[in-house]
């Protein structure tokens, strides 16, 4: 898995998380969840498995979505160092 792959995922998730966590617009938040789910579909499978750490539905479950995004961002940030 390339450094570019990691950096690209970090940038996308970081940007979407920043908007999501401060948004009060439910439609906007739903759109971000959809965008992330589409990103996950095309994400490097090895990277996704590493981030998910064996959890089914990681970044795809509405209930844990924000928490998952924070975890993914933290992990990706560590991988860039």
Q: Using one digit for the tens of pLDDT, what is the confidence trace for 6-63? A: 999 999 999 999 999 999 999 999 999 999 999 999 999 999 999 999 999 999 999 9
Using alpha carbons only, what angle is made at residue 70 by residues 65 and 73, rounded to the nearest 5 degrees?
120
| pLDDT surpassing 90 at residue 1 | no
For residue 81, name the pLDDT band (cuts at 50, 70, 90). Answer: confident
- Supply 16's token pair: 């979407």
Task: For 36-48, write each residue's pLDDT tens digit.
Answer: 999 999 999 999 9
Is residue 80 a contact partner of residue 3, using CB atoms and an 8 Å limit?
yes
Domain boundaries, the chain: 3-80
Model's pTM, two decimal places? 0.92
Residue of 38, 2, 35, 5 whose CA lies nearest to 17? 35
CB 68 within 8 A of CB 21: no
CB 15 within 8 A of CB 39: no
């Amino acid at each position: 898995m390339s450094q570019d792959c990691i950096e690209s995922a970090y940038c996308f998730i970081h940007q979407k998380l920043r908007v999501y966590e401060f948004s009060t617009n439910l439609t906007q938040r739903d759109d971000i969840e959809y965008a992330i789910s589409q990103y996950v579909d095309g994400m490097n499978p090895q990277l996704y498995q590493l981030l998910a750490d064996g959890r089914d539905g990681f970044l795809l479950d509405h209930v844990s979505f924000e928490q998952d995004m924070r975890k993914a961002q933290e992990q990706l940030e560590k991988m860039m160092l």
